[in-house]
């Protein structure tokens, strides 16, 4: 599809994805017509004749890429004019409209949608979908990352998509064999937060109730998403289950690590903490964690209480 003679409405609350969509569309248009002028403006500035100046040609170029941000704040007197331009952009215009979502400017957005202006929605990403976003970022850079490692990166970096994308880019540059693993993430991001979701899970595996509850409350108090804590717990106990199944197989350390699906250093942690767990207690723990995960995703009114109940329930399963 040609970039010029077209309009794109980018709408939704996720500013990082919106900026990406704008940058991609602008780059495509410049690749098509490198000499085009780029005009960027906020909708609040579109008083009087400013819209005509933004979308019209100049002395230097008849081709225009016009980016209008925050169109929800468009002055009422300009709305119909903007809709008309969006419906019928000239052959020399690439028009990009950015809306932050919500009800602000709903009348304009409804008119644009009624006019069938192409729309790209950039919805806020749920915390439990961030590891999937990390995996897609890694794939886009030609490297692999496991689901557990993606969750670990989210736990270390946080929920900011811009920071996560930058983290993947940094890790991809140093990934041996095209694989981002837990060890690489720890080398780069250990210490980013005093307590991560994985630190909570490690304390539970170690059957240290006082430390586990202290880390859980600290993690929640410093903004860790509850779903990342359940994800880390699930990852830790799935790994323990695989370790218990494979630990008597007489495999070498590297082969055992591959069998369990963890980096070699993690085997030492499992070896040290495996005395606290049996196959039955691990299976029961995974069931409790699944319940906790459902609760923090909406089944419970108090995610913090649900997490405390889950952690205490799992700790009660340890061998005495």
pLDDT (tens digit, 9 = 90+) per residue, 98-151?
999 888 889 999 999 999 999 999 998 887 788 889 999 999 999 999 888 888
127 phi and psi, to 5 degrees? -55, -35
Per CATH, the number for 127-315 is 1.20.272.10
CA distances to 270, 291, 310 from 313, rounded to whole Å, are: 20, 11, 5
pLDDT of residue 150: 87
Superfamily of domain 6-121: P-loop containing nucleotide triphosphate hydrolases (3.40.50.300)
Taking phi first (over 0 means left), then psi (-120 to 50 degrees means alpha), and beta for anything else, what does residue 70 get?
Answer: left
pLDDT (tens digit, 9 = 90+) per residue, 263-299?
666 777 888 899 999 999 999 999 999 999 999 988 6
Which residues does the chain have with pLDDT short of 50? Answer: 193-195
pLDDT of residue 194: 41
Question: Per-domain residue ranges for the chain?
Answer: 6-121, 127-315
Rounded CA separation 168/141 (Å): 8
C-alpha of 244 from chain center: 32
* pTM of model > 0.85: no
Rounded CA separation 230/200 (Å): 10
pLDDT of residue 156: 76
């Amino acid at each position: 599809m040609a970039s010029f003679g077209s309009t794109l409405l980018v709408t939704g609350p996720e500013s990082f994805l919106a900026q990406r969509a704008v940058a991609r569309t602008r780059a495509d248009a410049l690749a098509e017509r490198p000499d085009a002028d780029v005009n960027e403006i906020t909708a609040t500035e579109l008083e009087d004749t400013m819209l005509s100046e933004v979308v019209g040609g100049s002395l230097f170029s008849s081709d225009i890429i016009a980016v209008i941000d925050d169109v929800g704040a468009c002055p009422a007197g300009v709305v119909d004019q903007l809709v008309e331009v969006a419906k019928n952009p000239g052959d020399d215009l690439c028009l990009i409209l950015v809306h932050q979502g919500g009800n602000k400017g709903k009348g304009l957005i409804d008119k644009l949608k009624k006019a069938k202006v192409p729309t790209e929605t950039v919805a806020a990403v749920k915390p439990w979908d961030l590891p999937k976003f990390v995996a897609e970022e890694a794939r886009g850079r030609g490297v692999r990352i496991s689901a557990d490692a993606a969750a670990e990166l989210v736990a270390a970096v946080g929920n900011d998509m811009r920071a996560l994308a930058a983290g993947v880019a940094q890790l991809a540059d140093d990934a041996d064999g095209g694989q981002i693993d837990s060890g690489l993430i720890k080398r780069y991001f250990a210490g980013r937060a005093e307590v991560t979701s994985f630190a909570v899970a490690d304390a539970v595996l170690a059957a240290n109730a006082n430390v586990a509850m202290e880390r859980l409350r600290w993690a929640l108090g410093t903004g860790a998403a509850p779903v990342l804590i359940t994800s880390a717990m699930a990852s830790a106990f799935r790994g323990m289950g695989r370790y218990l199944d494979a630990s008597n197989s007489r495999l070498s350390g590297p082969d055992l690590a591959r069998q369990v699906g963890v980096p070699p250093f993690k085997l030492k942690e499992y070896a040290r903490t495996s005395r606290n767990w049996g196959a039955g207690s691990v299976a029961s723990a995974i069931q409790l964690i699944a319940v906790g995960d459902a609760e923090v995703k909406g089944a419970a009114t108090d995610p913090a209480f649900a997490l405390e109940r889950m952690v205490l329930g799992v700790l009660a399963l340890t061998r005495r």
